[in-house]
Amino acid sequence: MKTILKIARTELALLFYSPIAWFLLIALLFQSGLAYTSMMEGILTSQDMGGRNLKYLMFLTGRSFAPPYGIWPQLVGKLYLYLPLLTMGLMSREINAGTIKLLYSSPIKVREIIFGKYLSMMVYNLALVLVLALMVVFGLFNIVHPDAGMLFAGLFGIYLLLCTYAAIGLFMSCLTSYQVVAALSTLVLLAVLSYIGQLWQDIDFVRDLSYFLSIEGRADNMLLGLITTKDLIYFAVIIGMFLAFGIYKLQSDRESKPAVVKVGRYVLIVVLALTVGYISSRPGMVGYLDTTATKSMTLTVNAQKVLKEMGDSTLEVNTYVNLLDGRFWYGKPDQRNTDMARWEPYLRFKPDIKFNYIYFYDSTGDKNLFKYNPGVNLKTLAERYAKSMKVNLANFKTPEEIHKIIDLRPEQNRYVMDLHFRGRQTFLRLYDDQMVFPTETETSAALKRLMQSKMPKIAFAQGESERSTEKMGDRHFKWLTTEITFRNSLINQGFDVTKVYLKDEEIPADITGLVIADPKLPFDSVARRKIEKYIAGGGNLLIAGEPGKQEVVNPLLQPLGVQLMDGMMVQKNKDFSPELVQPYLTAEAAGFTKKLHEDAEDSLVIAMHGAAGLSFTTDGPFTIKPLAMTSGKLSWNKKIKPDESLIQLSEDEESPRGGGMVMVVAGDGDVESGDGGKKKKEEVKKPEFSADILDFDVTKGDKQGPLPAVLGLTRNINGKEQRIVVAGDADFLSNAELARFNIRTCNFDFSTGIFSWFAHGEFPIETTRPPSQDKRLTITDSGLSMLKVFLLGVLPGILLVLGSIILIRRKRK
């Protein structure tokens, strides 16, 4: 050990007596200082601007330092250029000067030479990390409540990465007497190790080995605050492998051994390294330490709870990937490790998940698939796709073969994960949004569905021309309820959705809630009795009426102590027509979910296109509280004549989106009769507003706001709390309003919040994380200016002077 320390001390002296070591320290200090101050300047600008900018100032520690936009990835991307300049002379200098022979002849072991020189590089790497640690120290003072764990984990990851670069550079220096060649060879090898993770990813066994060897992004988890034994062992294995290479290289120069023996040593080292790496990266063999303040690199408590409830039984994930599906890119064989990385947070808590990948080709829900490929059959199109994507069509099942295994046509033959657990099955889908893949919420809901025989079920009444859960027309509810491509639809959040024809069917006893949305035909006595029985039994209920349909809905509401007011609500707005009212959430509604609480704090509104005001009494059996209220100054209930009231558009009509002063009075389209027949379509009229439509006139029965647009009713009955919601509008649940983009609304959050309230918060599964604490900077503009001078001028100048003094004194001696 003393010999190793002496060699390290001598090498460090030579290192710091050369200008290159000082130059690299100064360069890194300047680069890191510039990156840090630039980052602080951008954040400080947003903070000083105030207003809405402050809302987006959160998790500033990660935003400033961690991938993908922090300063760590910027600096790590340059560090691989530094080390070859230092390691190129470690052994090349000895070989070129002939001093290696003196070392061989001295009583020093070869491994002591390698370890001593490597130790010197570890010390110098520590100096480089101390430069970066200076940015961390400033971050700890400049950020309010900084995430210190993330910062120190990041420094540790960078240090291990530098040490890995040093081990590789040391070995390359053993191969040649030319320092420039050693430096270039090191850069080439680092490039190979960065790129190798993309090679042979479509070959199962080779995929894991090449992916393990890849150094690209290896420190990213640590930069984000997650330390894993898999990453620690990787760095240890790679460092040990290249140090062993260096030892055996120097040893082979002193021995006369057959080439087979020499090559065999390297092969044995590589095999041992790959074996250790492969075993250590298997699920169940990996340890995790999340150093972040909010445990952002770990599944939320509720998601962990779901996995824990699954016990030791195996979860099987069968991933079906369609060659002709637009999402095939995400499921290509060479993307397998990327997919496993998405599952790693779950494997951490349940390592016995089994994955199978089944590739096939079949028609999809994309209507343009054959439109732009006229005259081409399915197999020819599949052959064309396979050729363009460099895959072997023989590895894909034909439509006939896949249909024998599973029928994916209800899933539109899309990329889907088929989950199996204890004989139960469910689908976990990809979605048509920017995130594409399911989050913890959707995944946890699917996993919980596998364990529960009874999921919360929402029944939608049909038979009186209510809104449909199966149609994509503007007025209907498919987007909210059963649309498989929408991640927030009820079926993707853990709910079951069903229909009930009240004339012909009994209301199921096992439902979580009944929805009666905009009935256009009066309920007959049979249906009325069923609804009254359901309410009397304590069932949860959502009744959504519409202006002009008071005579249909009010008889149902009368026993509840609620009524739809005559006429409709209007609201003054320079941008939109007056029938678009925008009530705000009350404190009662904000308490349904955390997301609604955030929406209420952000003053989001509910868009209601044609709504009746609600009146209620307080002497009935229910406790009644408003969930949404209109503005007191800008809105009121207008007692419009029946023939002027807003009638909903037919299912195929487009609802108005502009701000034009035209009230649409349209027929309902073909209205269903009780026996399933069709009534004649009403005439569509589009008269202009009367001149006094926006004039408040109390003498005509107008009532000034604020008025309740949605009410929540509760009472204790049969040992449980009954929950009922009454709304003067059904459009707030509709496909059209959920897709509205010209107003910042909370329609969707409020809609799902109602069903979450019915399900007592069981679904959607709550996976929100603790709020950010590091939301502000303490530094000021003047302080930042001084920091720039210090980091970009004073400190580099001090290092320059110190290095110059040492080098000049060394030269004089």
The per-residue pLDDT for range 749-761, each reduced to its tens digit, is 999 999 999 999 9
Q: Sheet containing 315-322: which strands, arranged edge to edge?
A: 353-360, 315-322, 416-421, 424-429
Q: Which pLDDT does position 681 carry in this prediction?
A: 40
Q: Which pLDDT does position 641 carry in this prediction?
A: 56
Mean pLDDT calculated for residue range 645-650: 41
How far apart CA 214 and CA 191 sit, in angstroms, is: 10
The per-residue pLDDT for range 534-572, each reduced to its tens digit, is 999 999 999 999 998 999 999 999 999 999 999 899 998
The per-residue pLDDT for range 416-475, each reduced to its tens digit, is 999 999 999 999 999 999 999 999 999 999 999 999 888 999 999 999 999 999 999 999
Question: Token pair for residue 790?
Answer: 């210090």
* 372 φ/ψ sector (left φ>0, alpha ψ -120 to 50, else beta): alpha
pLDDT exceeds cutoff 60 at 583: yes
Residue 368 binned pLDDT confidence (cut-offs 50, 70, 90)? confident
pLDDT exceeds cutoff 90 at 230: yes
pLDDT over 70 percentage in the chain: 93
Q: Which pLDDT does position 647 carry in this prediction?
A: 43
The per-residue pLDDT for range 623-635, each reduced to its tens digit, is 999 999 998 888 8
Residue 100 binned pLDDT confidence (cut-offs 50, 70, 90)? confident
Residue 677 binned pLDDT confidence (cut-offs 50, 70, 90)? very low
How far apart CA 808 and CA 813 sit, in angstroms, is: 9
How far apart CA 813 and CA 810 sit, in angstroms, is: 5
Q: Which pLDDT does position 217 carry in this prediction?
A: 86
Q: The dihedral of CA 403, 405, 407, 408: what is its sign?
A: negative
How far apart CA 705 and CA 692 sit, in angstroms, is: 18
Residue 796 binned pLDDT confidence (cut-offs 50, 70, 90)? very high
Encode 746-777: b = buried (16+ Cβ within 10 Å), e = exposed.
Answer: bbbbbbbbbbbbbbeebbbbbbeeeebbbbeb
Mean pLDDT calculated for residue range 60-80: 92
Q: How far is CA 800 from CA 39, 769, 794, 795, 805, in A?
A: 25, 46, 10, 9, 9
Query: Chain-wide mean pLDDT for the chain?
Result: 88
The per-residue pLDDT for range 44-60, each reduced to its tens digit, is 999 999 888 888 899 99
DSSP string for 112-172: HHHHHHHHHHHHHHHHHHHHHHHHHHHHHHHBSS--HHHHHHHHHHHHHHHHHHHHHHHHH
pLDDT exceeds cutoff 50 at 689: no
Q: Which pLDDT does position 693 carry in this prediction?
A: 64
Residue 653 binned pLDDT confidence (cut-offs 50, 70, 90)? very low
Residue 269 binned pLDDT confidence (cut-offs 50, 70, 90)? very high
Q: Which pLDDT does position 692 carry in this prediction?
A: 59
The per-residue pLDDT for range 110-122, each reduced to its tens digit, is 899 999 999 999 9
Q: The dihedral of CA 18, 19, 22, 27: what is its sign?
A: negative
Q: Which pLDDT does position 101 carry in this prediction?
A: 79
pLDDT exceeds cutoff 60 at 685: no
Mean pLDDT calculated for residue range 251-270: 85
Q: Which pLDDT does position 200 carry in this prediction?
A: 75
pLDDT exceeds cutoff 70 at 651: no
Residue 665 binned pLDDT confidence (cut-offs 50, 70, 90)? very low
- Residue 607's SS3 state is coil
Residue 371 binned pLDDT confidence (cut-offs 50, 70, 90)? confident
Question: Token pair for residue 446?
Answer: 């699917």
Mean pLDDT calculated for residue range 250-273: 86
Q: Which pLDDT does position 686 carry in this prediction?
A: 36
Q: The dihedral of CA 182, 183, 188, 191: what is its sign?
A: positive
pTM of this structure: 0.86
pLDDT exceeds cutoff 50 at 597: yes
Q: How far is CA 155 from CA 160, 254, 561, 743, in A?
A: 9, 40, 64, 44
The per-residue pLDDT for range 304-355, each reduced to its tens digit, is 999 999 999 999 999 999 999 999 999 998 899 899 999 999 999 999 999 9
Residue 516 binned pLDDT confidence (cut-offs 50, 70, 90)? very high
Name the CA radius of gyration of the chain, rounded: 34
**Cβ proximity of 312 and 350 under 8 Å:** no
pLDDT exceeds cutoff 70 at 168: yes
Backbone angles phi, psi at 539, to 5 degrees: -75, 145
Q: Which pLDDT does position 813 carry in this prediction?
A: 67
- Among 40-49, 94-103, 390-399, 669-678, the minimum mean pLDDT is found in 669-678
Mean pLDDT calculated for residue range 388-400: 93
Question: Token pair for residue 747?
Answer: 């329609």
**Cβ proximity of 361 and 398 under 8 Å:** yes
Mean pLDDT calculated for residue range 94-103: 81
pLDDT over 90 percentage in the chain: 68
How far apart CA 339 and CA 698 sit, in angstroms, is: 64
Residue 201 binned pLDDT confidence (cut-offs 50, 70, 90)? confident
The per-residue pLDDT for range 15-30, each reduced to its tens digit, is 888 899 999 999 999 9
**Omega prior to 68 cis, within 30 of 0:** yes
Question: Token pair for residue 797?
Answer: 């100048």
Q: Which pLDDT does position 638 carry in this prediction?
A: 87
